[in-house]
Structure 1
Amino acid sequence: MRAPLTSLQHTLQSFGEISRFLREGVADEDSRLMRDSLAALSQLIDEATRLRRAGADAAAITGRVADLARCAREHQLFLTGLGSAWHALYEFGAYQQALRALCSAIAAWLQALERHSSREGACFRQFELLAWRTLGEALLLIDMYEHHSDPLSDLAEAAPRRPAGWQRLRAWWRTVWRR
């Protein structure tokens, strides 16, 4: 039985740890493909962030951020091909919105890097903030998808529901009047 994402999220402290976690998940084919695509995105976020924090040269950071921009666009395209079970989830729309915001932040950071802008630091901070938000939304989306496609969750829904209080009272009242 797989551990729910919510019990593991508190241990995910870096983008690299999220990437590793996503690759380890056991799930159906659609979920595995989503995890793989997201793991690739998370890995590039981690690499770009590490390069920037380590003070690598601007060309190395710019190259990695350009790779990240391409990967984010590919991930957006991948999302359009997911099945209706994904698209039916409320969290899917929230994730797409967060991903669009992240893509905009990546583009702004890349442009600041290419122009050697004094706003590069602010663009990086905005990117990092949105990266955490986007990956959080993605983990929630995966958790909801896997929960809804989990056969055990279907058993709980199929169990007979206990009658409402007024229904129990009405049934009791009928038995009293029949005596």
Structure 2
Amino acid sequence: MACMPAPLSSLQHTLQSFGDISRFLREGGADEDSLLLRDKLGALSMQIDEATRLRRTGADATAITRRVGDLAQCAREHQLFLTGLGSAWHALYEFGVYQRALRELRDAIAAWQQALERHSTQEGTSFRQFELLAWRTLGEALLLIDMYEHGSGPQSDLPGVLPQRPSRWQRLRAWFRRLRP
């Protein structure tokens, strides 16, 4: 079933949870690769959401550790999926930035998982680092999808056309760009 890209103006609420990102990703896609990336990213976002929810609700360490293990596997599979995307994706600057952010997220997941398994006093620090990188990584992914789906559209060559005020989506993208180190 083919979907049309979700208009950027349809982002009428702020993405406040990893689940919100997952729901947003299901709203549309431009082509098969884009749909697949949205699906894979939605699955990753849901895994992140589940792991953070368990951690925040004070579930037992075994359940959290198991969920973080599932998350690590999902992130690995997601990174492998990225390598199979077409050259149009790989040509985007944002693609490399997203891959780097995903590698950093995978490292943070591994550190959090290790802290959980060792019952380390550094578990809280590892969790906070993971959560920060999860938001950054998903933000980079949203930027990548936007650049792929909308960045190559026709530009206006009418002289004197004033640029419009940035949309919420564009302001969100700019905010995520500022988070990059």
Q: TM-score, normalised by structure 1?
A: 0.81
1:16-74 CA-to-partner distances (Å, cap 9, x unmatched) read 01011111223210100000010000000000000000000000000000000000000
Tell me which amino acid in the other structure corresponds to 1:4.
L
Q: Which residue of 1 aligns with 2:20?
A: 17
**Which region of structure 1 is more displaced relative to structure 2, 21-30 or 50-59?**
21-30
Structure with the larger helix share: 1
Q: Which residue of 2 aligns with 1:120?
A: 123
Identity %: 77
Structure 2: how far apart are the matches of 1:48 and 1:111? 15
Report how far residue 148 of structure 1 moved: 3.7
* Structure number with larger C-alpha Rg: 1
Q: Confirm whether residue 46 of structure 1 aligns to residue 64 of structure 2.
A: no
Q: Which residue of 2 aligns with 1:168?
A: none
Q: TM-score, normalised by structure 2?
A: 0.81
Tell me which amino acid in the other structure corresponds to 1:77.
L
Structure 1 stretches of 4+ with a deviation exceeding 4 A read none
Q: Confirm whether residue 72 of structure 1 aligns to residue 64 of structure 2.
A: no
Q: Which residue of 1 aligns with 2:39?
A: 36
Q: Kindly report which structure 2 residues correspond to 1:1-179, keeping only aligned pairs within 5 A, or say none.
A: 2-4=6-8, 8=11, 11-148=14-151, 153-154=153-154, 156=155
Q: Which residue of 2 aligns with 1:170?
A: none
Say whether the 8 Å CA contact 2:29–2:149 is kept in structure 1.
no
Report how far residue 2 of structure 1 moved: 3.0
Structure 2: how far apart are the matches of 1:24 and 1:16? 13
Structure 2: how far apart are the matches of 1:31 and 1:2? 12
Structure 2: how far apart are the matches of 1:123 and 1:132? 14
Structure 2: how far apart are the matches of 1:135 and 1:63? 22
Give the superposed CA RMSD.
1.7
Structure 2: 5+ residue stretches without partners: 160-181
Aligned partner of residue 11 in structure 2, secondary structure: helix
Structure 1: how far apart are the matches of 2:110 and 2:25? 25
Report how far residue 126 of structure 1 moved: 0.1
Say whether the 8 Å CA contact 2:29–2:38 is kept in structure 1.
no
Structure 1: 5+ residue stretches without partners: 163-179
Report how far residue 10 of structure 1 moved: 5.5
Aligned partner of residue 82 in structure 1, secondary structure: coil
Structure 1: how far apart are the matches of 2:108 and 2:31? 32
Structure 1: how far apart are the matches of 2:29 and 2:131? 28
